[in-house]
Structure 1
Amino acid sequence: MKNMKPPLLLFIFISVSLEALWVSVTGDNVGAYRPIDDIAVDCGSNSSSPVGGRNWIGDAADRSDYSPIEKTHSSTAAEASSSSPSISGAVPYLTARLSRSEFAYTFHVTAGPKFVRLHFFPLDYLNFSRVDSFFSVEAAGYTLLRNFSASLFSDKTSSPSFHKEFCLSVGEDQILSITFTPTPGNSDAYAFVNGIEVVSMPDSLYYNTAVDSTEGIKLAGQQAPYTLDTTKALEAVRRLNVGGKFVGPVDDTGMYRTWEADDEYVTSSDIGVLPVNTSIQLNYGEQVPNYTAPDLVYITARSMGTNKTINLSYNLTWSVEVDTNFYYLVRLHFCEFQIEINEPLDRVFRIFIDSQLVEDHADVVSWSGKGVPVYRDFAVALLDHSQKKRTNLSVALGALPDGSTLYSDAILNGLEIFKINNPDGNLAGLNPDRDPVPNKLPGPPPASKAPSSLSKAVKIAIVAGGTSGFTILSLLAFFLYRRRNRAKDSTSSDGTSRWGPLSHATTKSTETQGSSRPWDLCRHFSLKEIRAATNNFDKGFIIGVGGFGNVYKGYVHGEANPVAIKRLNQGSHQGLHEFRTEIEMLSQLRHLHLVSLVGFCEDAGEMILVYDYMARGTLSDHLYNTDNPPLPWKQRLEICIGAAWGLHYLHSGAKHTIIHRDVKTTNILLNEKWVAKVSDFGLSKVGPTSESKTHVSTAVKGTFGYLDPEYYRRQRLTDKSDVYSFGVVLFEVLCARPAACREPYGSEKISLTAWAQSYCKSGSIDKIVDPHLKGAIAPECLNKFCEIAMSCLQDEGTKRPCMNDVVWGLEFALQLQVSSEQGLVDHVVASMHDGEGDPSDDDTAPIGGNLMDHSDEVFSTNNSGGGKSLGAAATTTSSDGVYDESTTSYDSDKLLSGAVFSEILNPNGR
């Protein structure tokens, strides 16, 4: 201590002072509850470790009170490998207790409800393989885990170490026993645990939880209340500090609970985090004692914002993945701390659990008063008789629609979700599916070491001979390869290979063409590599099935990023043509909004395409017939804009127009960041190659509901055929209905375009909008979006806009939406009429105006595919809030590849 220099002492003093100040402001209730039973067992350890103000006791220490009880005495204590990934929290994850036989821990505790936390760190321990841990856990007559795989759970959640938390009650004179049993019938299966906590909780913390009723808690969708008494066991699914940061066990109220930040679970990007209020004095009462949740939960929150119009257009929503076929307890924590909210009726809102209204008049000040924490509990049954293992549980808050409150807003401070045991005492869900993992290809056998007694001369001779032999064999292979390639090239009647580049104008010799073939522009995988990546085409790796064949998720050559592997059904001649077309097209195209072809395989009669993996699936997966949460309107607009850019590049970014011919929502893929990418080029055609031609005569191909009627009638394909199909996509996005849909209350399938157009013509646009978007779309944006869609669906191709104009129109619709939310839309509309847009547009027309009156002139079009340039003027907001002219938010030069392909007009791309 005496060696410390003054600056270091000053730093320590300031740090301690600031920490004490923070605790005095926000942590008054830290340690508010002192549990009678506070047990922490460090399994596999032979010593005790003080961590976070409590003592973790090793179960392998001499005369330990918590040594496991076992019949065979075959359990093993093991240490985590020093080369393992970083260990979260260290103790208790440094050691483990493992056994291929049953073992148990017993705890002499007082009667009452307890927290039981089981800590796991799945690794390879000694002769126990990480992937072989399958076991069940029972305690107090409840099945907590069944055939549980810690490695599968860890991989699914990307959590190297984790804990499972349960709540159960122990009766008078009852010993709490926790039993671990390896799954029978599997000789390699074993059970393990790294740490165990048993902590008392207040009797009424979660049980008998009705704050204002002695009969039970509200059960969503039912009149009868739900009784949650001590005969039930709970598993903590999520505990969220809404609007705040992570709160660890040490900062809890004495029960060592963990509170996550809620950022990953909020489904809308339009939410607002309220500033932390460290000055408010929280007042706890009898109904909500100060140990209910940390102060840090009640002084942070999320609200909907201050714009009443926007707030009435969406719900503030959280979504959490849970096991199916269980009841759940959902606890919502509230505390009004904003200066503006002081009286009852200042802020009143509605609460929805699993899309069911459970509270139509939530008034926090009326419930408890300002600065007084309060919570509300609800129960919900998530019963699904299908084979689904998991589903999404949503919690949503919505502003009152009738304006009967001073602030049309909602607030939430904390959220807890618990799974409730089934009548048979089971709390265990099913293991997640195993994700495809990189399969390492068998490497070459290790080279035998030369005997150390070889002389230096012999070694030199061996090296020289080997080098010479290798050189001769390489030259021989090269000449054979050259001869075979020339023979192949000469088989084409016009002297060119059908696998050559799309444009032959700049290359004439067959040798030059051969160097640019598609197999030279993307990777050629061997069938052995593909089999390794898909575990020999294991059905468990299938992520999609289509007319082409199965699509697998896999990893190639140990790469960290997965790929999508599409396997052609063998014997399909049509598939063969589409297979080669896909390679010809995608191997020479690179764009942000086109799916990337990684490579292909053509071995042993197989035809396989390998793409970048798109984690979010298809656009249609998020519109209808899905359990995915509905997409917000702005996100839908951004996806449409991305797909439009991809089609625009196909039509205008290459030397010759490429017509996709199968534009639909299932061929628009979404990556992890929701970036839209056009896919599936098996039906694509190169457009007219000379200015004298306006179309390509070809047999009709495509998908019912998306086909251009003019192309169908005349068999003349143009880029405007893609525009028509994209118009169908736009209405799918707006209405959340498939291209061939049933009219409400009708039984026959009808065309979505005919159905949507009839409502647009009659001035009833609002009747076709996806119910999830009701009130969420600015009127000006809706009008513009429908005008674009209607214009794309013109019967005559020459009257449809080019994709450049569609991009521009969608970008402008997005600007109208953003500006409306900011209350500045009048400036945008005015600038449009001042010359930045089409003066014939009437953006101020009310929703439901007759869109067909002037849809022919919505965009300036011509047959050559021209229109507004990529830098077409659009209105944007400057930093001072004034609207001025700028180019569109997408710069096409940045979207083009700077690769060597001759088709790309601008080589200075990304």
Structure 2
Amino acid sequence: MNQHTVSIAWLLLCFLNTCISATDIPTCITGDVSINSGSVGTSSAPNGREWVGDVKPKLPSFLQLKGSSTTSTAIHKLISADPVPHDTARISLSQFSYAFLLNPGQKIIRLHFNPSPYRGFRGLRDLFTVEAGPFTLLSNFSASLTADVLGLKSFAKEFCLNIRENEQLILTFSPVTSPSRGSTYAFINGIEIISVPAGLSYFDGRDTGIQVVGQKSVVHVDHNTALEIVHRLSIKPNPVLSAGDFDGVFPTWAMIKANKSRNDTWNLPVDVGFRYLTRLHFSEVGLKIAGNSDVVFKVLINEIIAQTNIDITKESVENSIPRYMDYMVMMRGHKREGKRDILISLLSYDELIDGRGLLAGIEVFKLSNPDNSLASPNPLPPQLDSPSWIIQILLSVLGRTNEMTTFAVTMLALVNIIVHKLREIWEACSSEEKNKPSARAERLCLRFSLAEIRLATRNFSDALFIGRGGFGKVYKGLIDKGQTTVAVKRLKSNSRQGAHEFLTEIENFLNSDMLM
């Protein structure tokens, strides 16, 4: 073999190696992503969206699976939810993750959960943490408890964050492990990743920031912040927010009715201990009407004036997307306090248009804390008499190892109180049983009320006093309308032992031959 032939062979080998290596490099996806976890191939949802399975070796080139996990199918088929992506799940007793290679920009991450029993995991409980890169989205999270509180069989959690150039989005699912909890698992049914249109940017990108309602401070919502979409409401009769340019980004907006008055208020529950970006969308129809008249209105948030004397016709509407205004709200408090309402009020001073015609929708976003966390405790039911509230409180407490001592002391105190109360009840029942006459005595003895005894003895008159017994004075009494004379012994006060011995005397008397 000459040198020329060797050179050609070497070039062909290098080219082949390059081709093989190129097939191993993940391909960056520029469109939206819909992953049907635990399924094979491509599936179509009833709304026409195509979902891609995550089962190897047919993984899409932009996706990598890491860690140990398996696939499973829900035991109970859902009737109210779409089978895609709720019938199958990726599930594990240990940590696993998805790694996506995406084009840069703002992304909405929608996580779908169907907390049904799964084959191979029946009898275990779901309790896990979800992380997206440096951000903690959910911590000590139970999808089953959340679904019970919401009254749903399946639900989705939505988040928003920014993806930088050549940056992978890594979603990590980690079961909460502890000897006191037993085996727990993490699971996911579906993952959607949707690019946010430039006109709807949730990151201000400005130096001024967003002013906090009721304060002089501002908050910068930059790319180092993650958001959770808490509320997305379309106000009837404004359907613009569920159609047109919003399809794919927001397939559904919760529809709410506004009041018939010009002053409208919406109460939106949120977790305490976080900052919230509140965005008000204004309808194009309302803007056109307002353009012909100087509409002035007032926005109040938590009963504090957020903005007043606003002329909304100064800025034009671009790309048929309603203009919006952003406000920052601080909901101070400890996360354990649960939820409180953000009150949003819109007061219109114009006769031509009211809040219902002017306002098209409301969005509320939770901002990640300085520790890069969006996690809150599992929600509590609205009524504490729900059977699951105790479990939820226990899970919330057990989710924090530094409070195990407090929990143990609380449980011991609770057990001590229960034992003490049971002992008091037992002693009271035992005393009543001891002082109770036999069945024969109850048949042969008449019972009188204290009022009847006082009447028979003229309120224990000294004139009717006939002697003194071992446990008290004896009086003559008249019963049966004065036809029958009896002896009434008045026991000494607080003489429980005397009462017992007196009843014993009656018992012995009734069992003697004198009654034969």
Q: TM-score range by the shorter chain?
A: 0.5 to 0.7
Aligned counterpart in structure 1 of residue 371 of structure 2, from 408, 424, 449: 424
- In the other structure, the counterpart of 2:65 is 69
Q: 1:123 to 1:369 in 2, by over 3 A?
A: closer
Matched, 1:171 2:119: no
Q: 1:37 to 1:321 in 2, by over 3 A?
A: same
- In the other structure, the counterpart of 2:131 is 138
Q: 1:341 to 1:55 in 2, by over 3 A?
A: closer
Q: Structure 2: where are the runs of 5+ without partners?
A: 1-28, 395-420, 433-516
1:810-889 mapped onto 2 (5 Å cutoff): none
1:348 CA displacement = 1.6
Q: How many Å separate the matches in 1 of 2:366 and 2:388?
A: 35
1:126 CA displacement = 1.1
- In the other structure, the counterpart of 1:200 is 195
- In the other structure, the counterpart of 1:231 is 224
Higher relative strand content = 2
1:253 CA displacement = 2.9
Q: How many Å separate the matches in 2 of 1:539 and 1:231?
A: 32
Matched, 1:390 2:383: no
Q: How many Å separate the matches in 2 of 1:208 and 1:249?
A: 22
1:225 CA displacement = 2.8
Q: 1:172 to 1:429 in 2, by over 3 A?
A: same
Q: How many Å separate the matches in 2 of 1:254 and 1:55?
A: 15
Q: SS of 1:413's equivalent?
A: strand
Q: How many Å separate the matches in 1 of 2:217 and 2:56?
A: 52
Q: How many Å separate the matches in 2 of 1:538 and 1:140?
A: 30
1:176 CA displacement = 1.0
Q: How many Å separate the matches in 1 of 2:198 and 2:42?
A: 30
1:398-417 mapped onto 2 (5 Å cutoff): 398-400=347-349, 405=350, 407=352, 409-410=354-355, 411-417=358-364
The C-alpha deviation readout for 1:435-494, integer Å capped at 9, x for no partner, is 8899xxxxxxxxxxxxxxxxxxxxxxxxxxxxxxxxxxxxxxxxxxxxxxxxxxxxxxxx
* Matched residue type, 2:362: L
Aligned counterpart in structure 1 of residue 303 of structure 2, from 350, 355, 358: 355
Are the aligned partners of 1:351 and 1:359 in contact in 2 as well (CA < 8 Å)?
A: yes
Q: How many Å separate the matches in 2 of 1:58 and 1:337?
A: 42
- In the other structure, the counterpart of 1:458 is none
Q: SS of 2:146's equivalent?
A: helix
1:365 CA displacement = 2.8
Q: How many Å separate the matches in 2 of 1:357 and 1:70?
A: 50
- In the other structure, the counterpart of 1:48 is 42
Identity over aligned pairs, percent = 33
* Matched residue type, 1:120: F
Are the aligned partners of 2:65 and 2:96 in contact in 1 as well (CA < 8 Å)?
A: yes
Aligned counterpart in structure 2 of residue 37 of structure 1, from 16, 31, 40: 31
Q: SS of 1:231's equivalent?
A: coil
Aligned counterpart in structure 1 of residue 380 of structure 2, from 425, 433, 437: 433
Aligned counterpart in structure 1 of residue 330 of structure 2, from 378, 381, 403: 381
Are the aligned partners of 2:297 and 2:309 in contact in 1 as well (CA < 8 Å)?
A: yes
1:247 CA displacement = 8.6
Matched, 1:222 2:215: yes
1:386 CA displacement = 7.6
- The alignment yields a C-alpha RMSD, in angstroms, of 3.8
1:367 CA displacement = 3.9
Q: SS of 1:155's equivalent?
A: helix
Q: How many Å separate the matches in 2 of 1:406 and 1:150?
A: 47
Q: 1:254 to 1:339 in 2, by over 3 A?
A: closer
1:258 CA displacement = 3.5
Aligned counterpart in structure 1 of residue 316 of structure 2, from 368, 371, 377: 368
1:243 CA displacement = 0.8
- In the other structure, the counterpart of 2:144 is 151
The C-alpha deviation readout for 1:486-538, integer Å capped at 9, x for no partner, is xxxxxxxxxxxxxxxxxxxxxxxxxxxxxxxxxxxxxxxxxxxxxxx979999
1:8-47 mapped onto 2 (5 Å cutoff): 36-47=30-41
1:317 CA displacement = 0.8
Q: How many Å separate the matches in 1 of 2:215 and 2:275?
A: 13
The C-alpha deviation readout for 1:659-698, integer Å capped at 9, x for no partner, is xxxxxxxxxxxxxxxxxxxxxxxxxxxxxxxxxxxxxxxx
Q: How many Å separate the matches in 2 of 1:94 and 1:246?
A: 31
1:173-192 mapped onto 2 (5 Å cutoff): 173-185=166-178, 186-192=181-187
Q: 1:79 to 1:244 in 2, by over 3 A?
A: farther
Q: SS of 1:151's equivalent?
A: helix
Aligned counterpart in structure 2 of residue 115 of structure 1, from 108, 116, 120: 108
Matched, 1:335 2:335: no
1:316 CA displacement = 0.6
Matched, 1:57 2:5: no
Q: How many Å separate the matches in 2 of 1:42 and 1:149?
A: 20
* Matched residue type, 1:355: E
Q: 1:355 to 1:50 in 2, by over 3 A?
A: same
1:254 CA displacement = 4.7
The C-alpha deviation readout for 1:73-93, integer Å capped at 9, x for no partner, is 3x2211223x43314232111
Q: 1:437 to 1:427 in 2, by over 3 A?
A: closer
1:63 CA displacement = 2.7
Are the aligned partners of 2:273 and 2:335 in contact in 1 as well (CA < 8 Å)?
A: no
* Matched residue type, 1:399: S
Q: SS of 2:159's equivalent?
A: strand
1:434 CA displacement = 5.8
1:97 CA displacement = 0.8
Q: How many Å separate the matches in 2 of 1:351 and 1:156?
A: 32
Q: How many Å separate the matches in 2 of 1:261 and 1:390?
A: 20
Q: How many Å separate the matches in 1 of 2:184 and 2:240?
A: 36
Q: How many Å separate the matches in 1 of 2:391 and 2:52?
A: 45
The C-alpha deviation readout for 1:224-248, integer Å capped at 9, x for no partner, is 3321111111111111111148899
Q: How many Å separate the matches in 2 of 1:229 and 1:534?
A: 42
* Matched residue type, 1:262: M
- In the other structure, the counterpart of 2:397 is none
The C-alpha deviation readout for 1:177-236, integer Å capped at 9, x for no partner, is 1100001213321000000112222356334438xx751223211223321111111111
* Matched residue type, 1:231: N
Query: Is the radius of gyration larger for structure 1 or structure 2?
Result: 2
1:595-606 mapped onto 2 (5 Å cutoff): none
* Matched residue type, 2:34: A
Q: How many Å separate the matches in 1 of 2:278 and 2:289?
A: 25
Q: How many Å separate the matches in 2 of 1:422 and 1:392?
A: 19
Are the aligned partners of 2:145 and 2:392 in contact in 1 as well (CA < 8 Å)?
A: no
1:36 CA displacement = 2.9
1:423 CA displacement = 0.6
Q: How many Å separate the matches in 1 of 2:94 and 2:321?
A: 52
1:610-621 mapped onto 2 (5 Å cutoff): none
Q: How many Å separate the matches in 2 of 1:126 and 1:171?
A: 39
Are the aligned partners of 1:324 and 1:390 in contact in 2 as well (CA < 8 Å)?
A: yes
1:379 CA displacement = 1.0
Are the aligned partners of 1:344 and 1:365 in contact in 2 as well (CA < 8 Å)?
A: no
Q: How many Å separate the matches in 2 of 1:408 and 1:385?
A: 40
Q: 1:436 to 1:220 in 2, by over 3 A?
A: closer
The C-alpha deviation readout for 1:561-612, integer Å capped at 9, x for no partner, is xxxxxxxx99999xxxxxxxxxxxxxxxxxxxxxxxxxxxx9xx9xxxxxxx
Q: SS of 2:149's equivalent?
A: helix
1:338 CA displacement = 5.5
* Matched residue type, 1:318: W
Q: Structure 1: where are the runs of 5+ without partners?
A: 1-34, 273-303, 305-310, 439-532, 542-568, 574-601, 606-910
Bigger mean CA offset, 58-67 vs 389-398: 58-67
Q: How many Å separate the matches in 1 of 2:104 and 2:388?
A: 52
1:172 CA displacement = 2.0
Q: TM-score, normalised by structure 2?
A: 0.63
Q: 1:85 to 1:255 in 2, by over 3 A?
A: closer
1:151 CA displacement = 0.7
1:37 CA displacement = 3.0
